[in-house]
């Protein structure tokens, strides 16, 4: 079952969402596994938020990615 969070996803919303039943979160947006520059010494980003909320596995990106490349990656990953 797919569950979608409201957009844009906010870390606080994710942490409160209780994703204990979630097996996989695939985050295909740019830099979903990268902390903000002002928090460079912290490991706080969307992927960690998904894990902290209870999701078993998370796939995120640490770099910018073109939309077509993200679509290709998502398609290949889910095959």
pLDDT of residue 57: 94
Average model confidence (pLDDT) across the chain: 79
Q: Are 63 and 45 in contact (CB under 8 A)?
A: no
Cβ count within 10 A of residue 24: 13
The set of residues, in sequence order, having a beta carbon less than 8 Å from that of 56 and lying 6+ positions away, is: 22, 23, 24
pLDDT bracket for residue 2 (50, 70, 90): low
pLDDT of residue 21: 86
Residue among 78, 46, 42, 40 at smallest CA distance from 61: 46
Mean pLDDT in residue range 44-64: 85
Say which residue, 26 or 28, is predicted with more confidence.
26
């Amino acid at each position: 079952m797919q569950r979608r969070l409201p957009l844009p996803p906010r870390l606080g919303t994710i942490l409160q969402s209780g994703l204990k039943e979630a097996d996989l979160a695939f985050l295909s947006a740019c830099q979903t596994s990268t902390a903000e520059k002002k928090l460079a010494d912290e490991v706080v980003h969307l992927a960690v938020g998904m894990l902290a909320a209870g999701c078993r596995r998370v796939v995120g990106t640490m770099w910018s990615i073109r939309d077509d490349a993200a679509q290709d990656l998502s398609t290949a990953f889910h095959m």
